[in-house]
Each structure stands twice: as C-alpha cells, then as structure tokens.
Amino acid sequence: MEEIADEIKTSGASIVCLQEVDAYTIRSGTNIHQAEYISNKLTAITGTIWNYKYITSINMNPGYYGNAIISSCSLATALRVYLSKVNSSENRSFLLVRVDFGSSYFYVGTAHLGLDGVK
C-alpha cells in the first residue's frame, strides 16, 4: 500500500480508481481498510486532503473486497450498482461517484470485471 500511495503521488493524478480493494480481511489485515489507508497516506505525503468512496463486491468473512475511488477532490455522491454474474462465480459491482471540482463537477466510475469464460 505504501508503494501504491507513492506511485499515485508520483503520477500527479488527482483521481484514482482501484479494484480488488480489501477491507478488514485476513489476507490484508483485519484492522486495515485499504482505501482508507491509502487515502490517509496520500494526505500525509502530499499535504492535501484525499477522500475515498468504497463499495463491497464480495464478503470475505471476515471483511470484504470491492472497488474504491480515491481523489484529492471532494467526492459527493456514491452509487453502487450490482452487476449480474456472467461466466463468473463472484459478484461484481460498479461504483459511480460525483467529483466536485471547483464550481463544477463530473462523474467517475469503476468496475472490476472477471475474465472467466472469455474466449
């Protein structure tokens, strides 16, 4: 996660979409929410407040994994859309956020789609 935060900072991006983001799982640490961690790390290393929105795609028991959008802009609206399983055993989801950028706004979305069954 340190390298991810450093790469985001180096890239100069102000909005980043992430997939397969863990929250409180055994594999990543039951006390760690990756989107929150990366957002907080970016705030610390850039001096700018970074925000995040996160949605769950799969319950891991314990924890979850899903999609996140992290931004140095304000993230106003989050919409989660469940996607039907197609040639996959895992639930999928789509995250849409409204990004407030000065006096205007735009929408950004992210989804993680499986490749099982693709030929």
- pLDDT, tens digit (0-9, with 9 covering 90-100), for 14-26: 999 999 999 999 9
Indicate the domain borders of the chain: 2-109
Percent of the chain scoring above 90 in pLDDT: 71
Three-class SS string for 10-45?
HHCCCEEEEEEEEECCCCCCCCCEHHHHHHHHHHHH
- CA distances (Å), 95 to each of 18, 38, 50, 57, in order? 10, 18, 18, 10
- State the CATH class of domain 2-109: alpha beta
Q: What is the pLDDT of residues 42-71, one digit of tens each?
A: 999 999 999 999 998 888 999 999 999 999
